[in-house]
Amino acid sequence: MDLREFLGDLKRQGYAQGNFLGLLNVVIGRRVQGPDGTDISAGVTWRVLAELLTKVRWDKEAVRDLGVDPATLSPRDRTRYWFQGMALAHLDSDEAQRAGDRLAATLAKAGYVIGPAPGTKAGESKKT
């Protein structure tokens, strides 16, 4: 399974519905392994994720989970649209880490293994 297939599975199963911030946190900054133990990702750049979200046709309304009005983002260039949404998401915040932890717990029930957030060890929160 590759990252595109992983995102497609999340979309089909609705695992990240209502938690787009968690999706961004997990895919950008964490190691992801499939249910069979294969490595899916060790984290990606914003640009790579923006292109993948475009390819899997992720619902544009997901940016509302970030407190962003879709009408304020680039309407014609979908990759730029996602990139702009990520720029407004405060991906380095404690809230983003908690959202990522929530998604990781959901994905663990589906057999995925999600690594800890950057700057933390498994099972601990980032210190502020």
Q: Tell me: the pLDDT tens digits for 27-43?
A: 999 999 999 999 999 99
**pLDDT of amino acid 27:** 97
For position 128, what pLDDT does the model report? 42
Residue 100 parent element (H or E): helix 94-109
Q: Per-residue confidence at 127, pLDDT binned at 50, 70, 90?
A: very low
* Domain contains 30: yes
Q: For residues 64-77, b (16+ Cβ closer than 10 Å) or e, as one string?
A: ebbebeeeebeeee
For residue 121, tell me if it sits in a domain: no
Phi-psi region of 57 (alpha: psi -120 to 50; beta: other; left: phi over 0): left
At 21 the pLDDT is 97
Q: With contact defined as beta carbons under 8 Å apart, do 1 and 38 qualify?
A: yes
Q: pLDDT at position 85, please?
A: 96
Percent over 70 (pLDDT), the chain: 94
Q: At 113, is the secondary structure helix, strand, or coil?
A: strand
- pLDDT at residue 63 tops 90: yes
Sheet holding 32-33, edge to edge: 39-41, 32-33, 113-114
The pair of structure tokens assigned to 48 is 């790579």
Confidence at residue 51, expressed as pLDDT on a 0 to 100 scale: 96
Residue 126 within any structural domain of the chain: no
| Domain tally, the chain | 1
Structural domain contains residue 122: no
- Residue 119: pLDDT band with limits 50, 70, 90: confident
Asked if residue 60 is part of any domain, the answer here is yes
CA dist 7 and 68 (Å) reads: 21
pLDDT category of residue 125 using cuts at 50, 70 and 90:
low
On whether residue 38 sits in a domain, the answer given is yes
Name the amino acid, one letter, at 1. Answer: M
Residue 25 included in any domain: yes
Mean pLDDT of 36-58: 96
Domain presence at residue 123: no
Find the domain containing 106 and state its range.
3-112
Q: Which residue has the higher pLDDT, 92 or 34?
A: 34
